Structure 1
């Protein structure tokens, strides 16, 4: 990656992180954003408000946790970013949010079933809720990788959301769609209605249509 390419990636990460913040997806400085590089990843720093974050504040780090460039500490969640990149060659960017509606479902340890065909936009027939583990740990990283198998998004029990994509914008779009779907699903549950779940065959057909429609994250 050339110096110019890295500068472009850094600026793009900051734009996505600030868009995430403006959308209300990261209360109290929560959440993080990263992009894959030739030597590891570039990730948002720990504890810095996104409105105050600049491209120079981002941290370049290897999958082994060794910081290659940056004066600040990397996000405490760098282990699951590293684990996902190592497990998923298709992942070029990761967005982690604590978006309110999806996090509410995660705190109930409840995934999102195929009540709407747009669930397939997130990579499969449903959006799983991964098992709980303490933030920043290898256990959480393993749980996240397992929950993302065959998917582009996962809820983290009592925590939040992870979305991955082939681009930063794609990963953010999936994170935003998870929040939208979570809101619709919660509205159905609050109304006492039982969602009608689309069957696996239909979700497979929808997935094929998304694959032909263009890049889905």
Structure 2
């Protein structure tokens, strides 16, 4: 997508984050790569999702310089750019403060394989990155390290969830699916010890996810 399309996608998906209950107020943030340019469109700082317009959305280069936009970028711009620099496969990034994922992050519990949709994370569980101050270079560093080379999601201790995808739509889908799995994990633990999928079962689900989508034979 071009610059205008990227900014519109940030506005549209940001509103969806709020509508689906994946964040509260101005919390959380999201970004998307601009095709053919070393640029990223990112949520503006402290602007409510419902009031955000495409003109508000800043465009940054991968060094963090604002190229376009009338608002300051999200305080988490370092974390977003760190992901894009480390992961060429990332076309969109979503950071949420969703209730159940954040609850597990506050307990420093991984999101385990209580349901096959954990495969949306690209791994057999969602790891927890250690706590670092929001917006800091240190948080960006530990988040990128925890994602590794194939992970699509990581919990940020005492903070929230970070998800990536080939595009912004996929990143949003990863965040939404993992919030569902986090809720299941929490509810199951309120009753007893959840029965987890085995490593083999989880990897079978991961392989099935790679062949899942429109136009694919079932």
**What is the TM-score with the length of structure 2 in the denominator?**
0.93
Residues 150-189 of structure 1: matches in 2 within 5 Å? Answer: 150-189=150-189
1:98 is the counterpart of 2:63: no
Check whether the contact 2:78–2:135 (CA below 8 A) recurs between aligned residues: yes
> 1 CA distance for matches of 2:17 and 2:172?
8
1:28 is the counterpart of 2:35: no
**Number of residue pairs the alignment of both structures matches:** 211
> 2 CA distance for matches of 1:181 and 1:133?
24
> 2 CA distance for matches of 1:163 and 1:197?
22
Unaligned residue ranges in structure 1 (runs of 5+): none
Residues 138-157 of structure 1: matches in 2 within 5 Å? Answer: 138-149=137-148, 150-157=150-157
Unaligned residue ranges in structure 2 (runs of 5+): none
Q: Please list the CA deviations of residues 26-60 of structure 1 after superposition, one character each: whole Å capped at 9, or x if unmatched.
A: 21310111001212211010000010000110000
Q: Counterpart of 2:211?
A: 212
For residue 27 of structure 1, give the secondary structure of its aligned residue in structure 2.
coil
> 1 CA distance for matches of 2:126 and 2:21?
21
Q: Counterpart of 1:86?
A: 85
1:129 is the counterpart of 2:137: no
For residue 72 of structure 1, give the secondary structure of its aligned residue in structure 2.
coil
Q: Note the C-alpha offset of 1:166.
A: 0.8
For residue 125 of structure 1, give the secondary structure of its aligned residue in structure 2.
coil
For residue 30 of structure 2, give the secondary structure of its aligned residue in structure 1.
strand
Check whether the contact 2:6–2:32 (CA below 8 A) recurs between aligned residues: yes
1:107 is the counterpart of 2:98: no
For residue 163 of structure 1, give the secondary structure of its aligned residue in structure 2.
strand
List, as ranges, runs of 4+ consecutive aligned residues in structure 1 with deviation greater than 4 Å. none
Q: Note the C-alpha offset of 1:136.
A: 0.5
> 1 CA distance for matches of 2:165 and 2:18?
19
State the superposition RMSD in angstroms. Answer: 1.2
- Which stretch shows the higher mean deviation, 21-30 or 171-180? 21-30
